[in-house]
Amino acid sequence: MRVAVFSTKPHDRRFLDAANAENLHDLVFLEPRLSEATVALAAGSEAVCVFVNDRVDRTVIARLRDLGVRLLALRSAGFNHVDLAAAEAAGIAVGRVPAYSPHAVAEHTVALMLTLNRKTHRAYNRVREGNFALEGLLGFDLNGKTVGIVGTGLIGEIVATIMTGFGCQVVAHDPVPSPRCEAIGVRYLPIGDLLSQSDIVTLHCPLTPATHHLIDDHALATMKRGAMLINTSRGAVIDTRAVIRGLKDGRIGSLGLDVYEEEADLFFEDLSNHIIPDDVFARLLTFPNVLVTGHQAFFTEEALTAIAETTIANISAFERDGRPLHPVQPQAVRQGR
Ligand code: NAD
């Protein structure tokens, strides 16, 4: 099957080529993101393969249908960037990679916590400049602290296990509690209680209408003063402007982000020779207690291998049975998964 692979980076090509070593499919690697302006590049392909910042809205889907595209193969677990109802109406099947390496994201989450707490990002630069002063580097013991996990699916469960290993009390909020978490002593709480009791709040729920701006001014007012907030789920789960207000008045002690609500204009590109026009993002970077990574939590050998292999398996299953191995159904949105 001919597949137009949008948003191709060198690593996508490397891992997809390896997964497609038997040349099962004709992969056409395209650097541009999928959008209304680039959708014509899918001409001649029966499938398109996209990543998290490709724009797969109603208009793009209608154009894909007109071009004869029948499958949308997502190289991601999240599918909030796809209009699933429009895809269903257009007769375009959607497949995703439900679990590639929850460990990759969970471990990056903990890396953000440890770095922000012990300020190793600042210590690294100081020591290289011959500055061995400790002022400003004071951290706290994780042992005995309360970590609040919002969303205990595949990733949240692993974060719970790791933080339990540090000796933390782990509390969680999820409409569907995880028996694995309950078995290791995680206590499920209403969101307000989680926010008011946690020294660290970490977000692992999907972006849905219910979780959009879940962390807003009201939620921040409920949090412990000086708490750490981590988001490796999706940018818009946090109201960034509200979080900046929280950082300015000291309510938030530190902030670790791997995702940002307007990241599509920034992330995955080298903009080091450009002016960043986004003032909200630029303001975030001025805080010494904010650490931002550019959506790299998934970025491990194991995860990229699994993403590529599952993507090829989705395409092969669709070619064989008319259905991807891991289909996304429109009702998944309503269930918040
Ligand atoms: P998952 O589907 O296994 O788990 C999500 C959990 O969130 C489920 O248990 C669900 O019940 C829960 N949930 C749904 N609505 C909720 C709400 N309102 N409040 C609290 N919990 C709620 O997903 P996962 O594999 O653990 O991934 C979680 C999210 O992480 C994904 O949706 C994706 O957005 C994000 N992600 C980010 C990266 C990255 O590189 N930064 C990589 C993969 C996934």
Q: What is the pLDDT of residues 248-266, one digit of tens each?
A: 999 999 999 999 999 988 9
The C-alpha atoms of residue 83 and residue 244 are separated, in whole angstroms, by 30
Our answer on whether the CB atom of 109 is closer than 6 Å to any ligand 1 atom is no
Could you give phi then psi for residue 77, rounded to 5 degrees? -85, -45
Exposure b/e, 6-15, CB count within 10 A at least 16 = b: bbbeeebeeb
Residues 6 or more apart from 45 whose CB is under 8 A from it? Answer: 2, 3, 4, 28, 67, 69
Which residue among 201, 204, 257 has the greatest number of ligand 1 atoms within 8 angstroms of its CB, and so is best to mutate? 204
- Residue 108 among the catalytic residues: no
> Digits of tens for pLDDT over the chain (337 positions)?
999 999 999 999 999 999 999 989 999 999 999 999 999 999 999 999 999 989 899 999 999 999 999 999 999 988 989 999 999 999 999 999 998 899 999 999 999 999 999 999 999 999 999 999 999 999 999 999 999 999 999 999 999 999 999 999 999 999 999 999 999 999 999 999 999 999 999 999 999 999 999 999 999 999 999 999 999 999 999 999 999 999 999 999 999 999 999 998 899 999 999 999 999 999 999 999 999 999 999 999 999 999 999 999 999 999 999 999 999 976 654 433 3
Q: Going by CA atoms, what residue is nearest to atom 4 of ligand 1?
A: 153
Our answer on whether the CB atom of 202 is closer than 6 Å to any ligand 1 atom is no
Q: How many angstroms separate the alpha carbon of residue 179 from the centre of ligand 1?
A: 16
- Whether the full predicted model's pTM is greater than 0.85, yes or no, is yes
Q: How many angstroms separate the alpha carbon of residue 69 from the centre of ligand 1?
A: 29
Q: How many angstroms separate the alpha carbon of residue 333 from the centre of ligand 1?
A: 12
Q: Going by CA atoms, what residue is nearest to atom 42 of ligand 1?
A: 298
Q: How many angstroms separate the alpha carbon of residue 275 from the centre of ligand 1?
A: 33
Q: Going by CA atoms, what residue is nearest to atom 35 of ligand 1?
A: 233
Q: How many CA atoms lie within 13 A of 87 on its CB side?
A: 26
Our answer on whether the CB atom of 259 is closer than 6 Å to any ligand 1 atom is yes
Our answer on whether the CB atom of 150 is closer than 6 Å to any ligand 1 atom is yes
Ligand 1, closest atom to CA 205? 7
The C-alpha atoms of residue 233 and residue 204 are separated, in whole angstroms, by 5
- Residue 234 among the catalytic residues: yes
Catalytic-role residue among 25, 173, 295, 326: 295
- Residue 261 among the catalytic residues: no
Q: How many angstroms separate the alpha carbon of residue 203 from the centre of ligand 1?
A: 8
Query: What are 166-208's pLDDT values in tens digits?
Result: 999 999 999 999 999 999 999 999 999 999 999 999 999 999 9
The C-alpha atoms of residue 1 and residue 19 are separated, in whole angstroms, by 14
